[in-house]
Amino acid sequence: MKLLIISGSHRKDSQTAKVANYINSQKSSFTKSDHIDLCELDLPFWDASSDYKSSNEAWLGLSEKMHQADAFILMTPEWAGTASPLIKNLLLMSELADTAHKPVMLVGTSSGINGAYPVAELRMNGLKNTKLIAVPDYLIVRNVDQVLNENSAVTEHDISMRKRIDYSLMMLNEYAQAMRPIREGFFKQEKSLQQRYAFGM
């Protein structure tokens, strides 16, 4: 099982990327995990009217990693109560061949006590045409600068967050295994139906 962690802050060396790196470093039941920080890629803006992606090397590399992944973690900071534009742009660019019928865990980060709105936003409209399946478990890393740092956990909140991450990774792997037969069976056999009903209602 391969896990792809995608962090969507626009800032380099962000707290969101820090959390992503922590998750990526954990020993989990996934055989392989990788972290992509979108702010380090020169991705184009989504454009429905042209073949804008075919010559963009950054997109082609990311698309291949997405295609190989069995599960995703999408991570976004909360800015003005919304998910980051980089994450929304990625979801608009994504193709069913890379994302359909794969589980995704959503993660919101906040420097304060907020962080819930981006998770709710992505559940409501971010996954509509990707056919990604948001698993019930999600994470909101509040007071993010105070937790998941390189030193060992020093507060109950930090300890609790680390344990929650371990549990969430275990459950995400279970969903990835359970959904693999769908992708390998029905999805491949019924390509015409998948193309006909590619978009959510």
173 three-class SS? helix
- Largest Cα separation within the chain, whole Å, is 54
Q: Residue 137 in contact with residue 175, Cβ under 8 Å?
A: no
Q: Left if phi > 0, otherwise alpha if psi is -120 to 50, otherwise beta: which for 101?
A: left
According to DSSP, the residues that pair with 33 across neighbouring strands are 3
Q: pLDDT value at position 198?
A: 80
Q: What is d(CA 32, CA 52) in angstroms, rounded to the nearest whole number?
A: 30
Domain map of the chain by residue range? 2-196
147 three-class SS? coil
Categorize the per-residue pLDDT at 201 as very low, low, confident or very high, splitting at 50, 70 and 90.
Answer: confident
Answer yes or no: CATH 3.40.710.10 is held by domain 2-196. no
Averaged pLDDT for residues 118-128: 94
Give me the percent of the chain exceeding a pLDDT of 70. 98
Predicted TM-score (pTM) of this structure: 0.94
Top-confidence residue, 137 or 50: 137
